[in-house]
Structure 1
């Protein structure tokens, strides 16, 4: 089955949505970014890291599988809801950017009213997931909505919208821990800060794709702010992320396998920075997507560390 004319340039090639979904579902799937799973993976990783780190601190051989499943469903639902909300707010800006003008709302495939209904449905799925946790985690989850609501406006007022995205996308680093302990401690708070730095790094890579169009329409980003120093800026925030993760691991009394995974992640970060070509949009997109592998590396180290203690 061939991809129809409304496929988007940063979608995964030959993704399931374009190949198999019925025609009526495709625009809504694109609105939720179902054809670009990297987004929900990046939202999910802080949740899973935190859950695994909490298992280490609690002396468990593995984080609760029910929590792992709930975080997966919640990440897919809330990433879709966040993208739908973002596209509703940005529909006029998106129409003037080459990479986004074909999105469902500015291209007319989905009306704003239909997008709003779809947003509510996805949010209800996220709410159902959140209500499975303890009261502290439910309150903590609701607190994240304020940050999510602010993100689409950040790019209009600051050169650092990636920081706001980091606040939103890293929230799972708090939730994964609180779901097991019903509280927050130094380890999850430090992991949250690390995930924010990681988000600034990878989303700067992502923003390299749009620097020229963003300058024309007035969208601000760290990619524009760093300019010719983008590679150095990305390396700086990846380095901060590693340092803060190390502190979080120490605070949770993690063992050598967790730190071995972190060392492997350092090499993966170094590869991203060394091979990044800021002027090549395809190269930037591939390096951005590679951060899902970073997530797997860190998670594997934490899981092995928890398991070996048994």
Structure 2
């Protein structure tokens, strides 16, 4: 599902733009897009493959092509392998540190699908999977991890974990039945809603640190205020009616990343 890359891709390019103090070149743009798509394809295909047994018993997922036989297990394994190879090769051609880090990153991406079998912290692991995106962007441009990229990473981690908590509210009964670990099935619905709000408050805290440490300008602060409003609207939609969860998950979060990236570009262009 290529469209799911919209969650991580803006933050990769935010990190790359800030690290380069502007335009980072066509080569890194092309490699960044390919790396993002291949990593996302790898992660989602791996998840679909190893979760087939659970997806069959979940009314929300039982009609997926990976479950009903339209896509075979062999095809999924081949797809997983091809995308892993593409990710590693692209990383090799960017710089040595990207290449060395490509292997543990794939391990983290695959690990999310397994953690939920043993721990409710899987939501935070998923957040880490996407939180690594800005770190990858910085490494691609500078060949090292810069300090300001860390709060950007942690902010993305809590952003993703926060909206994954909301998304997981759809599967509370199924998770309990199948013995899968999730925070909603452990804490209950009301406490999960509060925890998601705390996570999204932490997003703003860490992105304040990012903007301050990276010495960015007024337009990034404006972008942060708009991001905060989007997070508040997402929380409102879900609290109002759980039928709004898909809309909040895909639409609101998709716009948040793109708009935040847009203000980053505007900030860098104005500062010249």
Q: Per residue, is there more helix in 1 or in 2?
A: 2
1:1-310 to structure 2, matched below 5 A, reads: 33-34=1-2, 37=3, 39-55=4-20, 60-226=21-187, 227-277=189-239, 280=242, 282-289=243-250, 290-310=252-272
Task: Find the aligned partners of 2:54 and 2:120 in 1 and give their Cα distance.
Answer: 16
CA offset at residue 279 of structure 1?
5.7
**Cα deviation digits, residues 262-281 of structure 1 (max 9, x gap):** 1111111111112223762x
Mapped contact 2:134–2:152 kept (Cα < 8 A): yes
Task: Find the aligned partners of 2:137 and 2:101 in 1 and give their Cα distance.
Answer: 11
Runs of at least 5 residues in structure 2 that lack an aligned partner in the other structure: none
CA offset at residue 261 of structure 1?
0.6
**Cα deviation digits, residues 49-82 of structure 1 (max 9, x gap):** 2112213xxxx33343432332222222221111
Task: Find the aligned partners of 1:82 and 1:214 in 2 and give their Cα distance.
Answer: 21
CA offset at residue 185 of structure 1?
1.9
CA root-mean-square deviation: 1.8
Mapped contact 2:11–2:261 kept (Cα < 8 A): no
TM-score of the aligned structures, taking structure 2 as reference length:
0.92
Mapped contact 1:53–1:249 kept (Cα < 8 A): no
TM-score of the aligned structures, taking structure 1 as reference length:
0.82
**Cα deviation digits, residues 95-143 of structure 1 (max 9, x gap):** 1111111222321222212211121122222233222311112222322
Mapped contact 2:126–2:160 kept (Cα < 8 A): yes
Mapped contact 1:52–1:299 kept (Cα < 8 A): no
CA offset at residue 231 of structure 1?
2.5
Q: CA 1:51–1:223 in structure 2 vs 1: closer, same or farther (change >3 Å)?
A: farther
Task: Find the aligned partners of 2:115 and 2:59 in 1 and give their Cα distance.
Answer: 21
Q: CA 1:63–1:305 in structure 2 vs 1: closer, same or farther (change >3 Å)?
A: farther
- Paired residue total: 270
**Secondary structure, counterpart of 1:157 in structure 2:** coil
**Secondary structure, counterpart of 2:239 in structure 1:** coil
Task: Find the aligned partners of 1:54 and 1:229 in 2 and give their Cα distance.
Answer: 38
Shifted more, 138-147 versus 63-72: the winner is 63-72
Runs of at least 5 residues in structure 1 that lack an aligned partner in the other structure: 1-32
Task: Find the aligned partners of 1:203 and 1:155 in 2 and give their Cα distance.
Answer: 13
Task: Find the aligned partners of 1:224 and 1:42 in 2 and give their Cα distance.
Answer: 25
Mapped contact 2:159–2:200 kept (Cα < 8 A): yes
